[in-house]
Amino acid sequence: SSCDSEYVARNKSQDSGIAEMEELPVPHNIKISNITCDSFKISWEMDSKSKDRITHYFIDLNKKENKNSNKFKHKDVPTKLVAKAVPLPMTVRGHWFLSPRTEYTVAVQTASKQVDGDYVVSEWSEIIEFCTADYSKVHLTQLLEKAEVISGRMLKFSVFYRNQHKEYFDYIREHHANAMQPAVKDNSGSHGSPISGKLEGIFFSCSTEFNTGKPPQDSPYGRYRFEIAAEKLFNPNTNLYFGDFYCMYTAYHYVILVIAPVGSPGDEFCKQRLPQLNSKDNKFLTCTEEDGMLVYHHAQDVILEVIYTDPVDLSLGTVAEITGHQLMSLSTANAKKDPSCKTCNISVGR
């Protein structure tokens, strides 16, 4: 009978806190702006009808599923944010749920809190996508300060070197007129690093064995080593930048530095994105003058990976076979940073 159904409907509406009311406006035309590595601003439009009843916004934030992500890896829990209805645009900030350089989807509901504590909600808005930004200079400076704590004392060195396979050097001689070419840096290191996949350069090492003061005889990168006098790459005509600080579930840590000839494309890239170091006075790599000679020092307690941003002609140094082993385990190619290490992580999205 009609009487029964009316009774049921009324009770249902009392249960759910949805009294006979006009529907709340659905957000549309969502705009995301001011994106950083762990925050963004969001705004949208909505009909003015029933607008004054809105007390809260519900924001549904999800990491976009990676096509080739492992099926068994734990799924990221979607983040449902409940925010008081503030004037738009509203800032959403939180490193515990926003990671740098990551794609997200977002949708919004408007909500009205009832006397009994239940919410009346609108339909969900359309879903939109955005990508968070890389670490800013502010974040990199925090990373730099953490790296300084463990860098250790400074040791003298005189050459930069780069290990590769014989085929690499043959190819350079044959196809690149004897000049090693900058290549795009891989995705090793911090996930928010602004140089990964973007900066072009050539990797060099400068570590020395503390007992000999010379480069070690072992290398993970190949049996042939190009050696070049330090002043050919690092001198008063180059700028020095801090690039990254990370470890790979290991006891030792890596610091990435960038050396860029003043005014070069690499220098322009770094100037906008990386903290610049004083070449004569920093905790990682220095070039100072003593008795009219340039003298070089590197930090003892971190492994320095130095990126030089211009081509380097093989005739500026020497190529020779190393006598030691090829230690593959020390390779950092595309290595993932340990997100749980207290030494080298800062409190923003990993």
Q: What is the pLDDT of residue 198?
A: 87
Rounded CA gap, 230 and 295, in Å? Answer: 9
Phi, psi dihedral angles at 131 (to 5 degrees):
-125, 130
Q: How confident is the model at residue 81 (pLDDT cuts 50, 70, 90)?
A: confident
Q: What is the pLDDT of residue 124?
A: 94
Single-letter residue type at 211: N
pLDDT at 275: 97
Work out the percent of the chain whose per-residue pLDDT is above 90. Answer: 55
pLDDT at 150: 93
Any long-range contacts for 76-82 (C-beta under 8 Å, 24+ apart)? 82/56, 82/57, 82/58, 82/111
Residue with the bigger pLDDT between 15 and 255: it is 255
CATH of domain 28-132: 2.60.40.10
What is the residue extent of each domain of the chain?
Answer: 28-132, 137-321
Label residue 4 by pLDDT band (50, 70, 90): very low
Q: For residue 2, what pLDDT band results from cuts at 50, 70 and 90?
A: very low
Q: Is 64 exposed, middle or buried (0-12, 13-18, 19+ CB in 10 A)?
A: middle
What one-letter code names the amino acid at 11? N
Both tokens assigned to 182: 């900058």
Is the Cβ–Cβ distance between 63 and 104 less than 8 Å?
A: yes
Asked if 114 and 121 touch (Cβ cutoff 8 Å), the reply is: no
Left (φ > 0), alpha (ψ -120 to 50) or beta: where does 4 sit? alpha
Residue 192 pLDDT class (50, 70, 90 cuts): confident
pLDDT digits 0-9 by tens, 243-270 = 999 988 878 899 999 999 999 999 999 9
What's the mean pLDDT when you consider all of the chain?
Answer: 85
pLDDT band at 145 (very low <50, low <70, confident <90, very high): very high
The residue behind tokens 């990370």 is: 246
pLDDT, residue 17, reads 47
Within the chain, residue ranges assigned H as helices are: 2-16, 137-150, 166-175, 230-233, 265-273
Residues 243/187, Cβ–Cβ less than 8 Å: no
pLDDT above 70: percentage of residues in the chain: 85
- On whether the CB atoms of residues 199 and 187 are closer than 8 A, the answer is no
CA distance 344 to 275: 17
Rounded CA-CA distance 15/95 in Å is 37
Segment 208-223 mean pLDDT = 76
Alpha-carbon dihedral sign for residues 157, 163, 168, 169: positive
- Range scoring the smallest mean pLDDT among 74-78, 166-170, 175-179, 271-275: 74-78
Confidence class for position 19, pLDDT limits 50, 70, 90: very low
DSSP state, residue 13: H
pLDDT at 316 over 50: yes
Amino acid at 39: S
